[in-house]
Chain A
Amino acid sequence: MSLKNILENWSDYRRTAEDGGHHDYEHMWAMAIDLNKCTGCNACSVACYAENNLPTVGKKRMMKGQGMHWLRVERYWDEPDMGGDEKEYQERGGSFLPMMCQQCNAAPCEPVCPVAATYHTPDGLNAQVYNRCIGSRYCSNNCPYRLRYFNFYSYYEESWPEPLNMQLNPDLSVRDKGVMEKCTFCVQRIRVGKDAARREGREVHDGDVITACAQTCPTEAIVFGDMMDKSSKVSKIWAAHEVELGKHEQHKSDPDLRGYRVLEGLNTDPCVTYLERVREA
């Protein structure tokens, strides 16, 4: 509790805060999701529930909007003039958009948190510190994708009655009521991958880390990897579709290239690229 401590920490805080976070990234974890391959099977979402200790809240609370699906598969139905029909479930099927936290590099949720519970890591991740969160929910309000979920209740006993608590993933915590949470790109797996690489005295290779959703996707629509590694699968997809980080508008040489980032125009600089679905009109 010395004055020195305050002043030193203050200058540390000022130094990092002035640049708006880190700029010397060690990794830049990113995704590419091919919507042509996505069948909307929701296996990714189920894998996410299992991996990240997400509580199942039940049908009623899900309907109210209290679901905790970090990864949700959004369904969109075409208007009749776009090739859809009048039925509730159209003959040609809907379009699917799996949405998880986009790990924006200019994340709108970060500056608004009063206690800095959400911040940017040197891994290029938008981290959420559960212990620090006081539940003001401002981050969720300022997320244009609405991809942050709030623990409205304590779910531990209801969601994992004995002996289901044995299935919980020990690599990460179970969050209590009043805390905001969201997709972490399976940060616990990233940690394991990095630790293994360090023990072996090598760099992290492409494929060392794979998120639960990417691992589970039956059609391999989701590709996860490090953008700093130019030879990784994900950087190749980004490069092939001419999507670049740090831009709010992509200038493409060929209009047939399908890559896009959701709500890119808001300059949130998300780390997830979607490859547009091609359908007959």
Chain B
Amino acid sequence: MQTKDINENIAWAKINEDVLRSMENPRMGYWVAVVCCVAMVMCAVAAEIYQYQVGMGPANLNWPHMWDLYIATFVFWIGMSHSGTLLSAILHIIQADWRKPIYRFAEAMTTFSLMTAGLFPIIHLGRVWNMYWVLPYVSDRGIWPNFRSPLVWDAFAITTYLTSSALFLFIGMIPDLAICRDSARGWRQKLYTVLSLGWQGDDRQWRNFRKIYLLMACFLIPLAVSVHSIVSADFAMSIMPGWHITTFPPYFVAGALYSGCAAIITLFILLRYFFRFDEYMTIPILEKTCKLTFAIAMVWSYLNIIEFAATWYGHDMVAKELLIAKFVGPHAPYFWMMLFCGSVLPFTLAFEKLRRHLPTMFVVSLFLNLGMWLERWMIVTPTLSFSYMPFAWDVMWPSMVQWAIVFGSFGWFGLLFLVFVKVFPSVSMYEVKEMVFHRRHYHSSALANQFHRRASDPKPGDEPSKEGA
């Protein structure tokens, strides 16, 4: 049974070779995946063109269901973007070095899911062509957006988060891009020459690099937390039963980390399988990710219970009625499915046997994310079905136009990710080397003596860490 996070005897050149190999010569399967993704995107494009032409009618977002899948899926994608920050920034700051082989693709996931999420508020607008009115651009007529509206906060939060996470992804990639530059030819060489910003790997560059990387990490953590709190404000700031809930910001952040971690497990297994990254994306690292996911799942479940209890004992009759309607009403199958996927299924992550079994974990992670998607839907829709006016109680199901656009968003995300893995290294080469280097301390007392600087460094003669064993 594999117990080490990474094999410390792995050669530097082999790391470069393995990662660079993953970027070359796409096989047939890759092109099939690309074609599938493009087809999915085309479904969404066709639906959007139709909706743009005719109006919002075909989407079946009828009174009183003014929001439905679009906003639910928007929240879902925003949520998924939080995992990258968790792995790359939070775990970087707490010096959990097992994140190193897997943080790059998680960060790419952050950027791409934000790029997907950002499309939804635009798609759902009745007059898309006027969407820039939400931004405070300089207008001679002195017209401003309404700064009291959570939708305006959303626009700020998402653009800030997208910019900084893309920057963070790029900055973290510079040393790797230099490696790519040194071994590439043709258009790739030109691209990497520009992108690696003249990286030579000298001491001054590394110092500056470390500083800016840490700075960005510190900047991103509060940003990530605030972004999803602001998204939750779309609901919490309203006066609707089931939306006007104080625990929404932490609930949304927990849900975001949860679905993000589940997506990391999915992509981890896919990359490991297709790119033969067995030596970098190892089972102990997967196990650690699973444990993290399990912990977050329990936080999420706890916040769910708080929400139910607060509504139940709050004696706001309308909110209580809505809660009962969620459990036994027309949305009940989806609601129970969400509770099962979100709170019961993660217990599979608590068992070592299951955790180490890749096919099981692959399926479980997909179901966890299904649960999280349902969670967002069950936040948005039942409230609109059953709110204050009994006259306006109506249950409505999304139309094909909505489903097509939601379906297409997964294709869009997949397409971006597929392009990414072939153009950029999806495993951080320099950080894996760093990790391997640190692990070698355990085995060579000479090296350990030489590099023993900080109190937290392993002391010569220490036993290797048993964590994850």
Residues of A with Cβ closer than 8 Å to B? 1, 5-6, 8-10, 12-13, 17, 61, 64-67, 72, 74, 76, 97, 99, 108, 111-116, 132-138, 140-142, 144-146, 149-154, 177-180, 263, 266
Contact = CB atoms under 8 A, between A and B. Distances in A.
A72 B392 CA distance: 11
Interface residues of B, number: 50
Given A65-B63, A152-B62, A1 B239 contact: no
B56 interface: yes
B438 to A, nearest CB: 49
A64 B146 contact: no
Contact of B62 (A17, A66, A138, A142): A66
B38 interface: no
B64 A132 contact: no
Contacts of B350: none
Given A9-B144, A115-B145, A144 B67 contact: no
B389 A179 contact: no
A134 B56 contact: no
A236 B127 CA distance: 43
Contacts of A5: 140, 142
Nearest to B59: A152
Interface string B240-275: 100000000000000000000000000000000000
B238 A134 contact: no
A178 B126 contact: yes
Contacts of A12: 142
B384 interface: yes
Given A112-B150, A133-B127, 16 more contacts: A8-B142, A64-B396, A74-B391, A111-B149, A111-B237, A116-B143, A116-B146, A134-B126, A134-B130, A136-B121, A140-B66, A144-B240, A145-B388, A152-B61, A179-B127, A263-B389
Contact of B131 (A13, A64, A134, A137): A134
Which of A115, A142, A180 has the most chain B CB atoms closer than 10 A to its own CB?
A115
Contacts of A112: 148-151, 237-238
A274 B10 CA distance: 80
B60 A138 contact: no
A154 B55 contact: yes
Contact of A132 (B55, B133, B396): B133
Contacts of B144: 9-10, 13, 116
A108 B238 contact: yes
B330 interface: no
Contacts, number: 157
User: 5 tightest CB-CB pairs across the interface, nearest first?
Assistant: A135-B126, A178-B126, A65-B62, A9-B142, A177-B55
Contacts of B128: 178
A65 B64 contact: yes
Contacts of B140: 1, 5
B145 A150 contact: no
A151 B67 CA distance: 14
Contact of A134 (B127, B143, B384): B127
B387 interface: yes
Interface string B367-396: 000000000000000001001111110101
Given A134-B126, A146-B392, A108 B62 contact: no
A64 B62 CA distance: 7
A177 B128 CA distance: 11
Contact of B138 (A1, A136, A154): A1
B125 interface: yes
Interface in B35-68: 54-57, 60-67
A169 B155 CA distance: 38
Which of A8, A10, A132, A146 has the most chain B CB atoms closer than 10 A to its own CB?
A146
B167 to A, nearest CB: 26
25 contacts: A5-B140, A17-B148, A64-B60, A66-B63, A72-B391, A74-B389, A108-B238, A112-B151, A112-B237, A112-B238, A114-B155, A115-B134, A116-B144, A135-B56, A135-B127, A136-B151, A145-B389, A146-B63, A146-B388, A151-B126, A152-B62, A153-B54, A178-B127, A178-B128, A266-B239
Nearest to A145: B389
A179 B234 CA distance: 20
Contacts of B239: 108, 142, 144, 266
Contacts of A76: 390-391
